[in-house]
């Protein structure tokens, strides 16, 4: 899912993403993990300490977490239709591949989007040069003042200036 459908480079997933959780279970081999509608994925670069060493995919201490590790079901089959999955990106992973997801478009709860907007600095808002709502031009100032009370909002960021 991450590489073939969402555009994450295979070498990035293999080498940089050190910890993967699928539905709360540590994953040692992404190729055996089946993602279906409603699945939750969490991705992280290496984490410090014993917890990081234990949760690292295929790590030396991974045997210590055998009871909470993902195991491929005997009859696992991925969903053949569209699915909604939750992806959580932690630490440097969020900065490095977050833009891939934002560019493709994400769905976020309206109240969470509103909380995000409310907490952004004026410096952030000054960097927005154009916006659209339902493919119609929108004054960027209106994004800030709109109340996002819909249950879900589709959001796509077409470019990120550093």
pLDDT at 160 exceeding the cut of 60? no
- Residue 51 · residue 97 · CB < 8 Å: no
Question: What pLDDT digit, counting tens, does each position of 24-73 carry?
Answer: 888 887 887 888 899 999 999 987 776 666 677 766 666 667 666 666 66
Round to the nearest angstrom and report the end-to-end CA distance of the chain: 28
Percent of the chain with pLDDT over 90: 22
């Amino acid at each position: 899912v991450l590489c073939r459908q969402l555009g994450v480079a295979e070498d990035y997933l293999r080498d940089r993403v050190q910890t993967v959780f699928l539905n709360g279970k540590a994953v040692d081999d992404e190729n055996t993990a089946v993602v279906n509608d409603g699945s939750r994925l969490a991705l992280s670069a290496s984490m410090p300490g014993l917890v990081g060493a234990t949760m690292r995919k295929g790590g030396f201490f991974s045997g210590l977490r055998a009871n909470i590790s993902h195991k491929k079901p005997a009859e696992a089959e991925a969903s053949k239709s569209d699915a909604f999955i939750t992806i959580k990106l932690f630490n440097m992973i969020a900065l490095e591949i977050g833009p891939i997801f934002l560019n493709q478009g994400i769905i976020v709860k309206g109240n969470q989007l509103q909380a995000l907007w409310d907490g952004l600095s004026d410096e952030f808002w000054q960097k927005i040069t154009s916006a659209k709502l339902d493919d119609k031009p929108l004054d960027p100032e209106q994004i800030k003042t709109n109340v996002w009370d819909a249950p879900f909002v589709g959001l796509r960021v077409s470019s990120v200036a550093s």
